[in-house]
Chain A
């Protein structure tokens, strides 16, 4: 299995509180991604990173921020959680190259009450 770990695996939080999800890799891959998975929407890209301190927005980035201060960690922060952000969040890593595949973490189930 690719060395990718998400934490926490489950979290319940209250509306309006900040939440940070962590993705940690031991593969030294260049690219890291955050997706959310919701019924009827499949997997939607929130943010991704193509290097340390290099990030870009995906299709559903509103309400989320990210940081990547070192290669192995990619943090996703919900500045002020809302019920619409209840979802399963997946981190993925991918090494440099046009044809390389991504490896996924086990997911974080976040519930905002």
Chain B
């Protein structure tokens, strides 16, 4: 079945450091890929998405490229801020007939120190 694997956290960085959070997936067909962010005490919110191979999603300085050849969708940011501290989830959306499963990775906690 479909699955998503994220790098284990927590990830601790200093402000202005470069961020990479790895995400790889297993899927049949042509899924869409998403990154969600969860701030403390809140629900998840969409950060960015990519819907086909070689697409790059971007938002708030974050980027991720849909790489079909390596089945990856790594999240990057050039210079993190303290306000980026949160839990980040990689997700895969696929459709089979009328169903629409949305599968999440384990989540990676990011802590940014001033």
A48 CA to B101 CA in the complex, in Å?
8
* CB-based contact B102/A33 at 8 Å: yes
Question: Which of B42, B100, B107 is the one whose CB lies under 8 Å from A31?
Answer: B100
* CB-based contact A98/B95 at 8 Å: yes
- Which of chain A's residues have a CB closer than 8 A to the CB of B44? 43, 90, 92, 102, 104
* CB-based contact A98/B43 at 8 Å: no
Number of A residues contacting the other chain (C-beta, 8 Å)?
A: 30
Main secondary structure of the interface of B (DSSP, over half): strand
* CB-based contact B45/A104 at 8 Å: yes
Main secondary structure of the interface of A (DSSP, over half): strand
* CB-based contact B98/A43 at 8 Å: no
Q: B81: CB under 8 A from chain A?
A: no
Q: Which of A10-66 contact B (CB under 8 A)?
A: 30-31, 33, 35, 40-45, 48, 50-51, 54, 56, 58
* CB-based contact B103/A45 at 8 Å: yes
Closest to B30 in A: A98
Distance in Å: Cβ of A14 to nearest Cβ of chain B? 26
Q: Which of B1-53 contact A (CB under 8 A)?
A: 6, 30, 32, 34, 36, 42-46, 49, 51
- Which of chain B's residues have a CB closer than 8 A to the CB of A106? 42-43
Q: Which residues of B contact A (CB under 8 A)?
A: 6, 30, 32, 34, 36, 42-46, 49, 51, 89, 91, 93-95, 98-107
CB pairs A–B below 8 angstroms (21 shown):
A31-B100, A41-B106, A42-B89, A42-B104, A42-B105, A43-B89, A44-B104, A45-B103, A50-B98, A50-B100, A58-B101, A92-B102, A96-B100, A98-B94, A99-B49, A101-B49, A102-B34, A103-B46, A104-B43, A106-B42, A106-B43
